[in-house]
Structure 1
Amino acid sequence: MGTGSLAASCLLVGPTAAEAASCTTQTGPYQNQVEKFLGRPVDGKQSAADCKSIQTFQKAHEITPSIGYAGQLTWRTMDTILQQRAAGKTPNKAGRCPTNKGRVACVDLSRQLSWVQDGAKLAYGPVPVRTGRDGAETRTGAKRIYHRNIKHWSTIYKVWMPYSQFFDGGQAFHSATRSMYSPPGSGGCVNMRPADAKAYWKLLKNGADVFVFGRKPGT
């Protein structure tokens, strides 16, 4: 499977898509949180400078409509980034990914984060990933890589999937060139930045363990 639809996974309350040509003057429900994330003065009131800063973030991560509105999807994306930063070099601090399997590729859907560990030792990552959208969720549980193709062609989405490593039916790790935060998510695969997908290709092989847990925000 490749990447999914570009449509947003939730609706904004307030501004509509028709207003996309301009920067909104409306204060969003997550104004304070968004201002703080962006390093803006936190006053809970929309300003022209706030809007431009929010709009820049939205455009970078394909959040539509990109009108600078501090809505649920924009804040959800920022909150995920904050959780990823907080993970630091101890992504498995809570012990959700098993440490008794030797080398295992861990996928935390809740934080949209993946890493490779050897027992309890971190071997690579953690790195941001883009997993399955609502209705096409990346399936959880213990898996194993069963097929690898360095230049796989998706017959469903008509796109190349470089460094594909399949671990559950049509679901695979593979490279993607878009933002890892682009909503609503993939068609079920674990999208990765090119350098990370290449690193996983070198670290894993057929039969390698994969463990997927958590729940993607918005699903």
Structure 2
Amino acid sequence: MISRPAARRTTPRTLAVLLALGATLLPTAPAPAIAVPPPAPASERELVPGVAPGHGQPWQVDTPDQQLAPTVYQPTPGEDAVEPRHAPAGAYAPIEYVPLGEAAARVACSRQAGPYQRQVERWLKLRVDGRQSAADCGAIRAFQKKHGIKPAIGFAGPVTWAHMQLISARKNPNAAGKCPVRTHKVACVDLGRQLTWVQQGRKVVFGPVPVRSGRAGYRTRSGWHRIYWRHKNHVSTLYGTPMPYSQFFSGGQAFHASYGSVFSTVGSHGCVNLRLGDARRLWGVLKKRDWVYVWGRRPGS
């Protein structure tokens, strides 16, 4: 007679294994959402600095700026007597943002149309079709080499276009008449071209210089403002980051120096960032109660 197999006993060890297996099959609760900053413009999301940064410089610099009105107090004479620390060597080097693949391959001449292809073609008086050609690349490379923009691979990126806009604005930044002319000083902030200058009447007394304004979700507020508080060695009360030569004009939004490139594809948290030398000169031009006029819109914001 064939006997039936004996029933298997469930040992504590077997039970533990089965419970562990069941736990892995159970649906898990979704991870909590993590707040992330708004993305860069679609045309710039895959762009990276084409040259390794200098010593101590990160690939992407986005100095967190103050969003809320600071606790206004009178800096001691000693505080504003001390000059802010110098920027690291190479902090403001004109490093172009290029496609990741071309940066890795170290191409000599880009075959891709950049996010500012048409604008750059028009500025260089090339055929404006928005397509990269060998002639386009050669002309863009020549401009980049002349102005020290690296890598000079002919890619029509944001740094190349920013330099062209600055060059065009040097003779008369207010040629379009967008910044109101007054007998008193007016600090003009052109968000569309990412430029700032100061004019008194029709005379430009400072700039134009490149700036970085607020990104999407943190736009620099447009319209008329007045400088209401200045602090040469201010530190953000929200982020604990340095804001050299701060001149506040709208709540927590201020002119101040940044220790990283103002040409980055990501904007600030609302402030108008300048290179250290430009912020130092602007500090000597403006004073409390001077007027500021902001208009336009930062590309991609």
TM-score (norm 2): 0.55
Match of 2:171 in 1: 89
Residue pair 2:38, 2:217 contacting (<8 A) in 1 also: no
Alpha-carbon distance in structure 1 between the residues aligned to 2:194 and 2:159: 10
Match of 1:28 in 2: 112
Match of 1:217 in 2: 299
| Correspondence for 2:277 among 189, 195, 210 | 195
Mark the runs of 5 or more structure 2 residues left unpaired by the alignment.
1-35, 49-99, 125-131
Match of 2:40 in 1: 9
> Percent same amino acid among aligned pairs?
40
| Correspondence for 1:132 among 210, 214, 217 | 214
Alpha-carbon distance in structure 1 between the residues aligned to 2:199 and 2:44: 42
Structure with more strand by fraction: 1
| Matched ranges for 1:38-57 at <5 A | 43=134
Match of 2:20 in 1: none
Residue pair 1:89, 1:126 contacting (<8 A) in 2 also: no
Q: Are 2:271 and 1:180 aligned?
A: no
Q: Are 2:192 and 1:110 aligned?
A: yes
| Letter aligned with residue 232 of structure 2 | I
Deviation at 1:90, TM superposition (A): 0.5
Give the SS at the match of 1:82.
Answer: helix
Residue pair 1:137, 1:188 contacting (<8 A) in 2 also: yes
Q: Which structure would you say has the larger Rg?
A: 2
| Letter aligned with residue 89 of structure 1 | K
Change (3 A) 1:29 1:14: farther
Tell me which moved more, 160-169 or 10-19: 10-19
Residue pair 1:164, 1:174 contacting (<8 A) in 2 also: yes
Deviation at 1:19, TM superposition (A): 5.2
Change (3 A) 1:136 1:59: farther
Give the SS at the match of 2:157.
Answer: helix
- Deviation digits for residues 118-175 of structure 1, max 9, x if unmatched? 1111111111111111111111101000111111111223211011000001000001
Match of 1:64 in 2: none
Alpha-carbon distance in structure 2 between the residues aligned to 1:122 and 1:16: 35
Change (3 A) 1:204 1:33: same
TM-score (norm 1): 0.74
Give the SS at the match of 1:212.
Answer: strand
Deviation at 1:22, TM superposition (A): 2.0
- Deviation digits for residues 27-61 of structure 1, max 9, x if unmatched? 323399499799xx9517989xx8xx89x95789x
Give the SS at the match of 1:201.
Answer: helix
Match of 2:53 in 1: none
| Matched ranges for 1:143-182 at <5 A | 143-182=225-264
Deviation at 1:196, TM superposition (A): 1.2
Alpha-carbon distance in structure 1 between the residues aligned to 2:45 and 2:274: 33
Alpha-carbon distance in structure 1 between the residues aligned to 2:115 and 2:300: 19
Deviation at 1:188, TM superposition (A): 0.5
Deviation at 1:210, TM superposition (A): 0.4
